[in-house]
Amino acid sequence: MSTQQDYDCVVIGAGVQGSCTAYQLVKQNKKTLLLEQFILPHTRGSSHGQTRIIRKAYEQDFYTRMMEECYRQWTQLEKDAGVQLFRQTGLLVMGPENHGDYQLFKDTLQKNKVPTVILTRDNFKQHIPNVILAEGDGALVDVTAGVLFADRALKAVQGQFQKLGGVIRDNERVMEIKPGSVVKVTTSKGVYRARSVVITAGPWTNRLLAHTGFQLPLEVVKINVCYWREKTPGTYDVKQRFPCFLLTEGAETKEHIYGLPSNEYPGLVKICYHMGAKTDPDYRDLQTDKSDIDILKRYVARCMPGLIPEPAVVESCMYTLTPDRHFVLDYHPNYSNIIIGAGFSGHGFKFGPVIGKLLCELSLGEVPSFDLSPFRIGRFQSKTKSAL
């Protein structure tokens, strides 16, 4: 066991949110340690995989507004790290016209003056010939959207953090957190003391919070990440300018179905269901529920005539869901120098740089750059509990 070491801040969890937070802290000249339980890079949490959607299309204004800064910061990271992290494809949003989520997306885009193209049924067929638009569905394109190269982005942000003197210790699991004016963090390999601690432990958040006598109403679900083979290679390819897409609701489901153009695996299109079955993060692979895949098969058979309606590749990932699907970005209710970034509910990657900035601001006791009221723990009221 190594001797005790002192830091301004210890960040627990080197997924996208912890890595971005650590990077922001070191940019503020804070002596920062980023701890990760697994050897990096790993595929056991929520931030792995080659691609994620980035978009301004949201049902709520506050996300669309945050995305303005996210785009700027991802572009800056591309410059600093000298790698391409973003490819603009647009996001095709489809759903029952004039109501529900589809209407919310449309309103938010228009209100925030996001470059958007509304497709009529005729020009939908012309521009997107290999997708069936259901009867009664509207379609629009958020032109600003595209694909974020996730694994590459994570590597870039961790690399920039280290370049500025930040320390990453992987293969080192946090076993205990002892709150106090100086927080004591005990890992499988050592003991650290820090003025503040940021918990960004993804699906393991409540395990860590248990050491502080507190629990959040989080649910962890396993997502089957499905890739579907093109009947004719190239039909849905990123190079053919096929967009990312999102179906708000359809004959198969009231949950969203989303997809990304064929890119990382030639000839395979990623299409996922925005919900999964409950799992324990340490036993993710024992969760074998495939009802999400059955829903996707029916959807692909009905609406994606150029794809074989049987997944060719299935990978795994996890969502950490809050009851309202909004993030948790807040101080620990009992200890103001323990900060929590959690519950990213399957849509947090694109926000990484801004989440990092906000968690950094909270840990330094600064006024946050965005209104955090949608993300406060207090909104759960009776749903939070003491773990003591």
User: Would you say 332 or 347 has its CB closer to ligand LYRWXNCF?
Assistant: 347
Q: Which of 9, 10, 13, 206 binds ligand FAD (CB under 6 A)?
A: 13
Contact partner at residue 144 from ligand LYRWXNCF, ligand FAD, none, CB < 5 to 8 Å by partner kind: none
Of the residues 317, 326, 332, 357, only one is catalytic, namely 317
Binding site for ligand LYRWXNCF (CB under 6 A): 53, 55, 246, 256, 258, 274, 346-347
| Local structure of 15: helix, strand or coil | coil
Note whether 338 binds ligand FAD by CB under 6 A. Answer: no
Count of alpha carbons within 13 Å of 287, Cβ hemisphere only?
20
Contact partner at residue 166 from ligand FAD, ligand LYRWXNCF, none, CB < 5 to 8 Å by partner kind: none
Contact partner at residue 56 from ligand FAD, ligand LYRWXNCF, none, CB < 5 to 8 Å by partner kind: none
CB of 363 to ligand LYRWXNCF, least distance (A): 25
By rule CB under 6 A, what string of x and - marks binding of each residue 209-248 to ligand FAD? --------------x-x-----------------------
Question: CB neighbours of 180 closer than 8 A, spacing ≥ 6?
Answer: none
Residue 51 identity: T
User: Would you say 7 or 102 has its CB closer to ligand LYRWXNCF?
Assistant: 102
Rounded CA gap, 89 and 109, in Å? 17
* 253 secondary structure, DSSP code: B
Note whether 45 binds ligand FAD by CB under 6 A. Answer: yes
Contact partner at residue 36 from ligand FAD, ligand LYRWXNCF, none, CB < 5 to 8 Å by partner kind: ligand FAD
Rounded CA gap, 46 and 218, in Å? 14
| Residues annotated as part of the active site | 48, 51-52, 270, 274, 317, 350
